[in-house]
Structure 1
Amino acid sequence: MRCLALAGVAVLLLSSRAPGGDSRNRSALDQGAGIWTGVDRVVAVGDVHGDYDQLVAVLRSAGLIDEQGNWTGGKTHLVQNGDVLDRGPDSRKAMDLLMRLEKQAAEAGGYVHALIGNHEAMNVYGDLRYVSPGEFAAFRDENSEKSREAALAKERPADRAHWEAQHPLGYFEHRQQFSPSGTYGKWIASHDAVIKINDSLFLHGGISAKYVSTKIRDINQRVREELKDPARLTGGIVTDPDGPLWYRGLAQGDSSMNPLVEKIQKTFAVERIVLGHTYTDAAITPRFGGKVILIDIGLSRVYDGIGKMGCLVIEKDSVFVLHRGKRLELRGRGARSAALATAQAYCRIGIKDGRELTGCIRMPKGLRDPARENYGAHRNRIRHPRQPNRV
């Protein structure tokens, strides 16, 4: 399983004992749907952002698919922590792969959890600032030119060239497919935003104090309902900067976040919280003594032309990183400090070279947010309050 540790440095090993049982059965715990127990092996992959080839490489190195892209993971649970979409050109291919693997894994007794990230939600409700030209082009068909001409005739924009740039061929087909009734819109809205497998909680952004007392079942139900009905979006959980799709406090906050982390552990009865969303300078990074694990390593080549290769594995009594087929384990403070020191070095290099990445945040050390996404208004006028980096 090709997974990543920065510059050959593995970033974590924790203890996790998975209870026995059928890996396909949801638990009947009070939290409700979204909970699985008795899973012997979990593989978690962070943000893909339109890089189909990198996703395939990670899954193959993890032993989850063969050369033809068919499921070979048996009863393994694959968790993709959201943000398959945007920035890169091949998000449609990545979604199609996950859709196929969902069926194949189920037949083998495994499971594919394609969690809802903020970019999945954005594509459904029409915030298209990060959709790449290749993503629109993937939906182009023989009727695209006629569809665009019909829309052009109806809207009669003053600046035709600007309008066409905003509506490339494939745009209207893309919007139909991501609508609540479209193939991909329905697929996204059928998934979970938060899940619990054994004693680990998985989601894209994070659990804030605002939602720490909300059950998994209720979070997922609210997210699905809002994505299926755009009228519910304004002021809802999907667009809330403190909601599970957007919140960065657990990834960027300092030690003052410890009480919240402990409350999450107690409320959801978990040992750890596994998050995507916040880029970690190529290293799968544990925080708060391993209670929070960040797995958005910059898999997509859209960031640096190379891409990073890594994923998290929770296997019986171990939590570790797989990097290019090798299991890398380091215990204790020294390992964590070494990994973060390496990440800090990369961060300094990134600033010095003046890359598009916009700089480092002071806390936690070693982390960088390349997008600094401006949660402003878009076509549908849904506004997201700008979320500053938290120190």
Structure 2
Amino acid sequence: MKTLKFWRLFAVTWLYIFGAAIAEAQTQPLSDGPYVRYTDSTITYDVEYVCDGQAQSKKVNVISLTLGRYKACQQNGPALGIVKQQFERDNIEYNGDFDVIAVSDFHGQHKLMLELLRNNKVIDQNDHWALGKGHLVITGDVFDRGDRVTEILWFLYRLEQQAQLAGGKLHLLIGNHEVMVFNNDLRYLNPKYRDVSQILQTPYPKLYDNNSVIGRWLRSKNVIVKINQDLYLHGGLSHQLLQYQQSLGQINQLFINAMVKDEMPRQRNRLESFLHGRQGPIWYRGYFYWPIIPIAQLEQVLAYYQSNRVIVGHTSYSEIKVRFKGKVLAIDSSIKKGKYGELLKVSEGRYYRLTLSGDVEQLNIK
């Protein structure tokens, strides 16, 4: 009887403490933004915010946006970096004597992302680029699940510009969740952004359409990049892809052109539908789940694209995994859970796991 009373008291206490915390979090006023849209002027932009649950909109000049000299939510807005009208598409292939850091599937986990990048010297304590001439590859899935997607996108937007000034490079690749949001598939959208959409009276995908700065920037991104004989992408390259005999550049161009259905003048053709299907580069899981690709077929894919290995996200593990004797590296380390994450480092032909605390472990890759 005493034991039963104890557990009842414990349960009541737990509900009181944690229930109050949850209720407080749920009732805390919602703030989000900015959402920056182009106007007919090249120097003035429409900026929308949610501040304490209320919609705000204003016209802001490009200098104020770049430097953060504008009011948002009763304080200076964030410095957004240089706000551009047009964005050049990156190359498909890069070669050189530089380090590469790769990571995947941030899924709105802004705080954990910053901690991971800081602890491994990718950014400094002021969250500025610290990788010098190195390359940082994010293999997709910034959107969905977490509640700090907006912050991550603007952070990467600025960081890309800082990397370029330092002689380095940031590669943000397209994942399946970017394509889902663009096409109004909002199954995994955090409830916060449903509220934001309602407050701003704007469908969530429209906040990232081609008339928005971030939306136009994302549409300039690739689905795949080859760096020093390694292929980086979100899901993977299936053996079935070889039947189409497409180069990496052709795959990328066809994929991007067919990325947003409502922006196409026609329906996707057979090849475009394949690229956006389960055997395509953002959805493929055949390196990990049945039917698993035979190693001979994987080697044919790598030989066709003159590559040593494929480095992918999309399929989550607790840490970076080596598959197929090092021909596949899985770098989705479950950052989406908000607890832990890892980076892959490639330096002088060697591969390393970088942990959240900054520890380094060389991977056994032949």
TM-score by length of 2: 0.69
Bigger mean CA deviation after superposition, 94-103 or 225-234: 225-234
- State the AA in 1 paired with 2:289: Q
CA distance in 1, matches of 2:187, 2:198: 13
For 2:205 and 2:358, the matched residues in 1 are separated by: 38
CA–CA separation in structure 1 for the residues paired with 2:279 and 2:361: 34
Match of 2:319 among 280, 283, 296: 283
Judged with a 3 Å threshold, the aligned counterparts in structure 2 of structure 1 residues 332 and 268 are, in CA distance, closer, same or farther, namely closer
Deviation digits for residues 177-226 of structure 1, max 9, x if unmatched? 22233223212210010100001100001111232332111111112212
CA distance in 1, matches of 2:188, 2:166: 36
Shift of 1:231: 4.6
**In the TM superposition, what whole-angstrom CA distance separates every residue of 1:24-49 from its partner, at most 9, and x where no partner exists?**
xxxxxxxx940000142000011111
Aligned partner letter, 1:178: Y
Quote the offset at 1:111 in angstroms: 0.4
Measure the CA separation in 2 of the matches of 1:198 and 1:288.
19
Kindly state the Cα deviation for residue 67 of structure 1 after the two structures are TM-superposed: 1.8
Counterpart of 1:197 (choices 200, 205, 227) is 227
1:184 aligns with 2:220: no
Deviations 1:247-303, CA, capped at 9 Å, x for gaps = 1112324665212210121111111100000112x12111110100111111123xx
The equivalent residue for 1:327 is: 360
Give the match's secondary structure for 1:252.
coil
Q: Is the 8 A contact 2:287 2:293 kept in 1?
A: no
In structure 1, give the amino acid aligned to 2:306: A
Number of equivalenced pairs = 269
1:280-330 alpha-carbon deviations (Å, 9 max, x no partner): 2x12111110100111111123xxxx5222011101121111112111135
Max Rg structure? 2
Q: Structure 1 or 2: larger strand share? A: 2
DSSP 3-state at the match of 2:225: strand
Q: CA deviation at 1:136?
A: 4.1
8 Å CA contact retained: 1:124, 1:180: no
Give, in whole Å, the separation in 2 of the partners of 1:240 and 1:255: 17
Q: Does the 8 A contact of 1:88 with 1:135 survive in 2?
A: no
CA drift at 1:169 = 2.4
Residue segments in structure 1 that go unaligned for 5+ positions in a row: 1-31, 141-166, 334-391
Amino acid at match of 2:294: M
> Structure 2 vs 1, CA of residues 194 and 45 (structure 1 numbering), >3 Å: closer, same or farther?
same
Instruction: Supply the distance in 2 between the matched residues of 1:83 and 1:251 (Cα, whole angstroms).
Output: 18
Residues 194 and 233 of structure 1: is their aligned pair in 2 closer, same or farther, counting only changes over 3 Å? farther
Q: How far apart in 1 are the matches of 2:256 and 2:282?
A: 12
1:96 to 151, 154, 160: 154
- What is the aligned-residue RMSD (CA, Å)? 2.2
Q: Within the alignment, does 1:250 sit opposite 2:290 as a pair?
A: no
Is the Cα contact below 8 Å between 2:99 and 2:346 reproduced in 1?
Answer: yes
* Deviation by residue 1:133-162 (Cα, 9 ceiling, x = unmatched): 22345xx4xxxxxxxxxxxxxxxxxxxxxx
What amino acid sits opposite 1:133 in the alignment? P
Deviations 1:103-147 (A, max 9, x none): 00001010000000000111111111111122345xx4xxxxxxx
Q: Give the SS at the match of 1:293.
A: strand
Aligned residue for 2:299?
Answer: 262
Task: Report the secondary structure of 2:287's partner residue.
Answer: helix
Q: Distance in 2 between matches of 1:89 and 1:274?
A: 27
Q: Counterparts of 1:20-99 in structure 2 under 5 Å?
A: 33-99=91-157
